[in-house]
């Protein structure tokens, strides 16, 4: 049950985490504000275990971004601002998870629906975001040129929709890590590991497909649009797999 005290604790906790992220330059100031916007609903409606999953995603994404950063910078393929994420990155990767957390709390109260549908939607969307970030950052360090996911044509590192075996392996590992953390947090039985892992891995590859098509074809379609579409796909897939 939501109480003023719980909401106050949740808000303070989120502010502290966002403040630490800003202090250690994992986000810029706009990312700090967006993190509060995304994080507070997740704690309030999903609980602290939901937020723990979000924090784990953010930490793994930050580690993947700064991993061998100087090497990526020399190649001209590193994230700008030493990997500090802006509001566009934060919202693109986290807004869908935030919506699923709200639905997890609100919908079962008014409708006779299993809340696990939205729990797995939440996990699928975050696993997609985590896998996509890890796959992109680690995959850039591959010794081999990436191939376009739609045609398998060899492309330059950093091209939208380009994938490598190293990046795909990183996506698979991180997707299942999110599921393992969810399981260890007590959010479900062992099936939650496989559902989250599958949804995240497929969602990350959908991100690559959208990047190779819509993001390449249309000037107005940016990486944040791609991330939102992919996290929606990963979340929906997680919800669907719940029934199987």
**What are the pLDDT digits (tens) for 78-119?**
777 777 888 999 999 999 999 999 999 998 877 878 889 999
- CA–CA separation, 99 and 103 (whole Å): 6
Two tokens, residue 51: 């937020």
- CA–CA separation, 177 and 60 (whole Å): 10
Q: Which residues contact 46 (CB under 8 A, 6 or more apart)?
A: 101, 104, 105, 122
Q: What is the pTM of this model?
A: 0.93
Other CB atoms within a 10 A radius of the CB of residue 74 amount to 10
Q: What is the pLDDT of residues 139-175, one digit of tens each?
A: 888 888 999 999 999 998 888 899 999 999 999 999 9
pLDDT confidence of residue 171: 96
Q: Which residues contact 77 (CB under 8 A, 6 or more apart)?
A: 140, 157, 158
């Amino acid at each position: 049950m939501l109480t003023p005290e719980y909401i106050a604790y949740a808000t303070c906790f989120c502010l502290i985490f966002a403040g630490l992220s800003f202090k250690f330059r994992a986000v810029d100031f706009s990312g700090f504000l967006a993190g509060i916007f995304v994080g507070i609903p997740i704690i309030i409606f999903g609980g602290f275990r939901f937020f723990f999953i979000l924090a784990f995603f953010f930490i793994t994404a930050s580690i993947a971004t700064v991993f061998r950063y100087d090497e990526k910078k020399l190649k001209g393929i590193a994230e700008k601002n030493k990997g500090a994420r802006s509001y566009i990155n934060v919202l693109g990767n986290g807004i869908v998870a935030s919506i699923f957390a709200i639905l997890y709390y609100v919908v079962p109260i008014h409708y006779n629906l299993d809340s696990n549908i939205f729990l797995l939607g939440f996990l699928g969307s975050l696993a997609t975001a985590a896998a996509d970030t890890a796959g992109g950052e680690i995959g850039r360090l591959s010794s081999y040129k990436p191939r376009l996911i739609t045609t398998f044509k060899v492309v330059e590192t950093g091209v939208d929709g380009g994938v490598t075996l190293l990046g795909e392996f990183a996506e698979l590992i991180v997707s299942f890590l999110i599921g393992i953390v969810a399981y260890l947090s007590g959010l479900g039985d062992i099936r939650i590991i496989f559902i989250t892992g599958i949804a995240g891995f497929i969602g990350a590859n959908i991100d690559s497909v959208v990047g190779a098509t819509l993001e390449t074809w249309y000037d107005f379609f940016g990486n944040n649009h791609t991330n939102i579409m992919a996290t929606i796909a990963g979340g929906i897939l997680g919800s669907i797999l719940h029934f199987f």
